[in-house]
Structure 1
Amino acid sequence: MTQAPAPARRPFRWHIPVLLAPAVLVYSAIMILPLFGTLQLSLFRNVEGVRTFVGLANFQTLFGDARWSASFWNALWNNTWFFIIHMVVQNPIGVALAALLSSPRLRFAAFYRTAIFIPTILSFVIVGFVWKLILSPLWGVAPNLLDLVGLKSLFTPWLGKEEYALTTLGLISVWQFVGIPMMLIYAALLSIPDEVIEAAELDGVTGWSQFWKIKLPLILPSIGIISILTFVGNFNAFDLIYSAQGALAGPNYSTDILGTFLYRTFFGFQLQSGDPYMGSTIASMMFVIILAGVCVYLFAVQTRLRRYQF
C-alpha cells in the first residue's frame, strides 16, 4: 500500500510580526510600560527622603483619611455624572442624527454630517475658552441672544454656580463630540443589507417604524461599542475641565473629576506640593474603575448583543 503524502506545511508568515513590531514597540513604550510603572509607584511612599515599599498603605490613606476620601468620592461622583450626561444626551442624539442623515430623501446630508462633525476636531483649549466667552455674564453673547427672544431672565452664570457648572461643561462636551457616535451609527446603518430593508418594506414596515423594529436591533452592537468608548473617554476626561475651570475645577471643586484630582495630586498646584505616590494611587484607581467597566461590558453585555449581528 502506498502511504498518503504528508500535508504540506504552511510557511510562516514573517511579514505579520515584522509589520506589527513597530506599532507594538511604540504602544508598549508610551502606554504599557508607564502603566506598570504607575501601578508599581502606588505601592511606595517617601519616608524621610527614602523611597519605601508600603504595600496598600496609600490606598488605605485614599479611602481612610477624611481629607483624601472626601476629595476622591467627590471627583468620582462628578465623573459619574459627567458620564451619565453623555450617555443620556449625547448618544441618543447621535443615534437620532444618524437616522435622519441616513435617509435617502434628505438633501445636503453630506453638508450636515460635516458641520456636525467639525467640533470634534477642535482643540479642547479653544472649545473651553470660546464657551467661557459665550457664557460670560459680563461680555458673553449668551445674555444678548436670550434677550433677543425674550428669555434673558433665564440666563445665569452657569459656569460660576456649583449646581450648574458640571452639567454645563457636560453639555459643552456633548456639543463637541456628538459627531463621533453620529458617524459610527451612520456607518452601521449603511452596512445593513439592502435585502433586509427591502423585505421590511414589502411587509409594510417603513419610516420610523422600520427604524425602531428593524434597524435599531441590528445596530445594537454598534451602540454597545459607542457606550463603552463613552465610558472610557469620560473617565479619562481632563482637558475640557482644565481649560475651562482650571486645575482647581471650580467653583469650590464642583467640577472636579478624577483627571483634575490626579493632576493636582501628582504635579501639585499653587501652594500644594506634588505627591507622585498618591497621584499614582489615584491613577491606579482610575485604571481599576475603567477596567471593571470594560470587563462588565465584555462579559455581560457584548455576549447578549452578538445575537443581533448579521
Structure 2
Amino acid sequence: MSDTEITDIETVPVKRPTRWHIAVFLAPAFLVYTAVMILPLIETLRLSLFNIVEGQLAFVGLSNFKVLFGDPRLSADFWNALRNNVIFFIIHMLVQNPVGIAIAAMLSLPGLRFAAFYRSAIFVPTLLSFVIVGFIWKLILSPIWGIAPSLMDLVGLKWAFAPWLGKAETALIAVSLISVWQYVGIPMMLIYAALLNIPEEVLEAAECDGITGWSQFWKIKLPLILPSIGIVSVLTFVGNFNAFDLVYTVQGALAGPNGSTDILGTLLYRTFFGFQNQMGDRSMGATIAAVMFLIILAGVALYLFVIQRRMRRYQF
C-alpha cells in the first residue's frame, strides 16, 4: 500500500452517531414550557393589539396603549402601580440582597457552629406558601389580636407600634419587608454557593499577604462573587415586577389602603378579570401585561448586554 493511499485512509472523517436521545429527553420539558409559558405570552401580546368593536374582536394596533397612557383614570392607576412596584423592588435590593449577602458571608466563616441549622432556618420561609405567610403576618401585625404589640412591649417599644398594614404611608413598606423575610433565603443560598466556589489557592494567597477576616471578604471575596450578585439582582428584578400573590394575600385585590400597595400584578388582575363593580377587560389587561413584559425584557437586556460584560473579568 502506497503512502498516498495510507494518507487518504487516515484523513477519512469519522461519522459521529446522531444523539437523538437528547431531543427525546428535552421534548417533554420543551412541550410543557411552550404550552404553559410561550403560547400564553404570544397570545397575550397578540390580544393587546385587539379590542371589542361593535361586538367583534377587531385589530386596533396601538390604540390600547394610547388608552392606557391617555385615559385619566387608567393612566393614574398605572403610574401609581408602577411607582409602587419600583419602590417594592428598591426595598428588596437595599434590604433583602445585602442581608442575604451578609448572612452568606457569616455562614461561610470556617468553624461556625450550627451553620447547617442556620441555613435551614433562614431558607425554610422560602418554601412556605404565600397564603400561609400572608395570613400569619396579618395575624402578627394586627393591632387587635396580633402578638406584635405584646412582643414590642416586652422590650419597651410598644410606643413605636402602629397598624402598619392599615396606614397608606407604611403599608407598602410593611408588605415589602414581609416579602423580604420570606425570600431572603434565595440570595443567601446563591451567594453562599458562590463563596464556597472560590478556589482555596486564592484565599491562601490572600492570607499570605496578611489579608484576613472581613478585610478578606471586602477585598477578595466580594469582587469574585460579583457575577453571582448580578444574577441575584436580575432575579430580584424579574420576581418583583412579576409579584402579585403576597400583595393579594395580605392586602386583597384592591391593594389598599387607597391603592398604596397596588403594583402592576394586582392592577393587571383587576383589569383583566374584574373585581367588585369593575368589569373585566381582556384587551386592556393584556395591554398592561405587555407593558410588564417590555419592562422586564428591558431590565434583563440591560443586565445581559451591559452589566454582565463588565463582570466577566471576575469569573474563573
For normalisation by structure 2, the TM-score amounts to 0.97
Aligned residue in 2 for 1:301: 307
Runs of 4+ with deviation above 2 angstroms = 1-5
Which residue identity does 1:41 align to in structure 2?
A: L
In the TM superposition, residue 43 of structure 1 has moved relative to its aligned partner by 0.6
- Note the alpha carbon deviations across 1:40-76, whole angstroms, 9 max, x for none: 0011111221111111000000001111110000000
Aligned residue in 1 for 2:103: 97
Aligned residue in 2 for 1:60: 66
Aligned residue in 2 for 1:33: 39
Which residue identity does 1:176 align to in structure 2?
A: Q
- Note the alpha carbon deviations across 1:251-275, whole angstroms, 9 max, x for none: 0000000000000000000111100
What is the SS of the residue equivalent to 2:162? coil
What is the SS of the residue equivalent to 1:269? coil
In the TM superposition, residue 145 of structure 1 has moved relative to its aligned partner by 1.1
Distance 1:254 1:141 in 2: 24
**In the TM superposition, what are the counterparts of 1:180-219 in structure 2 within 5 Å?**
180-219=186-225
Aligned residue in 2 for 1:248: 254
Q: CA RMSD in A?
A: 0.8
What is the SS of the residue equivalent to 2:15? coil
How many residue pairs get aligned? The number is: 310
Identical amino acids, percent of aligned pairs = 74
Distance 1:205 1:105 in 2: 18
Distance 1:163 1:217 in 2: 37
**1:109 pairs with one of 105, 115, 127:** 115
Aligned residue in 2 for 1:147: 153
- Note the alpha carbon deviations across 1:194-245, whole angstroms, 9 max, x for none: 1111111111111000111111111000000000000000000000000000
Aligned residue in 2 for 1:291: 297
Q: Are 1:258 and 2:227 counterparts?
A: no
Distance 2:74 2:274 in 1: 15
Aligned residue in 2 for 1:267: 273
Unaligned runs of 5+ in 1: none
Which residue identity does 2:295 align to in structure 1?
A: I
* Larger of the two Rg values belongs to structure: 2
For normalisation by structure 1, the TM-score amounts to 0.99
**1:164 pairs with one of 170, 176, 180:** 170
Aligned residue in 2 for 1:16: 22
Aligned residue in 2 for 1:236: 242
Distance 2:72 2:103 in 1: 45
In the TM superposition, residue 105 of structure 1 has moved relative to its aligned partner by 1.7
Which residue identity does 1:60 align to in structure 2?
A: K
In the TM superposition, residue 10 of structure 1 has moved relative to its aligned partner by 2.0
What is the SS of the residue equivalent to 1:62? helix
In the TM superposition, residue 9 of structure 1 has moved relative to its aligned partner by 2.1
Q: Are 1:134 and 2:145 counterparts?
A: no
What is the SS of the residue equivalent to 2:51? strand
Distance 2:164 2:191 in 1: 32
Which residue identity does 1:159 align to in structure 2?
A: L
